[in-house]
Amino acid sequence: MSAMPWHAADWARLQARRERDALPHALLLCGPAGLGKRAFAQRFVRGLQCERAQGGEACGQCRSCLLLDAGTHPDLVTLSFGLRKDGTPRTEIVIEQIRELSARLAMSSQFGGWQVALIDPADAMNAAAANALLKTLEEPTGQTLLVLLADAPWRLPQTIRSRCQRIEFGVPPTEEALAWLQGQGVAQPQQALEAALGNPGLALAWAQQGALERRVEVRRDLAALAAGRGQVTEMARRWLDDEAAQRLWFAAQAAADERRARAMQAAPPLASALDGEALAHWYAAANRTRDALRGPLRGDLLLLELLAQWR
């Protein structure tokens, strides 16, 4: 599993603890999606359970590695969203899952090494599940490691967070991120990184998915509305049919750039008639609309209201 350059310092510290036989019983890997914390966790767990690991890196050929590849290693438990009785996926991790996990971890390792539980996303545990996990965290068994992954760690109770060794994944320096994107073959690394607000993993995914073209289109749409061209209804329908949440992310960015240009007394790129305060309100409204699209309200009406305010 390939390493990302901004992982190097955290990886070195974790391996140093492993060499001193001083690993914590629980790790919390957290930070924005796209920075590779799940790849980091998989890489670390593979090295921990490999029978011939070198420098923390799995060999990829031993019995443990082959079982990990097949998803059948008896000493690795991965906990995520389960299914309800009617077969539909849950939107949270529930107490029954944590109880089953705790019972599993109370048994001895089948291979005589580390037992590892990956909980992802840990911030999806409901209150009862988090309370049930707390007992396992307070009474860890030998050579058992809990790895919690969370994009939004603040949703976890402080009692959980305080009992985990925390590794925070932050946005790397721009130069490092640009060099990595170039190495991944991204044709427009600077534009991709700007679109993703400095997050290189997100920038890579968006560059591969055509998001940069969508970003240009969003700005062109907003400029057209500001100039009195374009139909709000048609624009709302088009946005809703093609990655509406992502388009709203780019729309909020465009409003922020417009406001920044006005503050610097430069020509606003979209020539919006909104003043600085109105642009700030529209920026917030775009983000609220993006969140609201996940709810029960009609997306077309939400977008119509937002775009009408821009015009």
pLDDT digits (tens, 9 = 90+) for 47-91: 999 999 998 999 999 999 999 999 999 999 999 998 888 888 888
Retrieve residue 165's tokens.
């060794």
Angle between helices 299-310 and 244-263 (to 10 degrees): 20
Phi, psi (5° rounding) for residue 15?
-70, -35
Retrieve residue 126's tokens.
């409901």
pLDDT band at 135 (very low <50, low <70, confident <90, very high): confident
**pLDDT beyond 50 at 1:** no
What is the average pLDDT value for the chain, to the nearest integer? 92
Nearest one of 17, 23, 72, 33 to 197, comparing CA atoms:
33
User: How far is Cα 103 from Cα 141, in angstroms, rounded to an integer?
Assistant: 12
Q: What is the pLDDT of residue 272?
A: 86
pLDDT digits (tens, 9 = 90+) for 221-240: 999 999 988 889 999 999 99
**pLDDT beyond 90 at 181:** yes
Retrieve residue 41's tokens.
């966790």
DSSP state of 93: B
**pLDDT beyond 80 at 2:** no
Nearest one of 159, 82, 93 to 126, comparing CA atoms:
93
**pLDDT beyond 90 at 204:** yes
**What are the helix and strand counts (H, E) for the chain?**
14, 5
Helix (H) or strand (E) holding 258: helix 244-263
Q: What is the pLDDT of residue 25?
A: 93
**pLDDT beyond 80 at 153:** yes
**pLDDT beyond 70 at 189:** yes
Task: Please say whether the dihedral angle defined by the alpha carbons of residues 272, 274, 278 and 281, taken in this order, is positive or negative.
Answer: negative
Amino acid at the residue 260: R
Helix (H) or strand (E) holding 78: strand 76-79
pLDDT digits (tens, 9 = 90+) for 243-287: 999 999 999 999 999 999 888 888 878 888 888 999 999 999 999
- Side-chain-facing half-sphere of 34: CA atoms under 13 Å: 20
**Range of weakest confidence among 22-26, 91-95, 104-108, 250-254:** 104-108
Give me the mean pLDDT over the 171-185 stretch: 94
Task: Please say whether the dihedral angle defined by the alpha carbons of residues 134, 140, 144 and 145, taken in this order, is positive or negative.
Answer: positive
DSSP state of 295: S
pLDDT band at 311 (very low <50, low <70, confident <90, very high): confident
